[in-house]
Homo-oligomer: A and B are copies of this chain.
Amino acid sequence: MASPTPIAPAQKITTESLRGSLGFLLRVAQLRSFGHFFAVLGDEEVRPGEATVLDLIRENPGIRQGMVSKTLKIKRAQMSKMIREMEREGLVARAVPEDDRRAIELRLTKEGEAMIAGITARFPEIERRTQAALTPAEGAELRRLLIKLNGLDKTKGEDSDDPDDER
Name A18's contact: one of B9, B10, B56 (CB within 8 Å).
B56
Name A152's contact: one of B19, B36, B72, B127 (CB within 8 Å).
B19
- Cα A110 to Cα B75 with chains together (Å): 39
Contact A67-B145, Cβ < 8 Å, known A23-B126, A129-B161: no
Question: What mask results when residues 122 to 165 of chain A are scored 1 for a CB within 8 Å of chain B, else 0?
Answer: 01001101111110001101110111111110001111111110
A78 touches B (CB below 8 Å): no
Q: How many copies does the complex hold?
A: 2
Contact A72-B24, Cβ < 8 Å, known A123-B17, A142-B145: yes
A20 and B143 within 8 A (CB)? yes
A69 touches B (CB below 8 Å): no
**Residues 1 to 52 of chain A near chain B (Cβ within 8 Å):** 2-3, 6-11, 13-39, 48, 52
Identity of the chain B residue whose Cβ is nearest the Cβ of A138 in the assembled complex: B145
A148 and B138 within 8 A (CB)? yes
A63 touches B (CB below 8 Å): yes
Identity of the chain B residue whose Cβ is nearest the Cβ of A23 in the assembled complex: B33
A60 touches B (CB below 8 Å): yes
B24 and A26 within 8 A (CB)? no
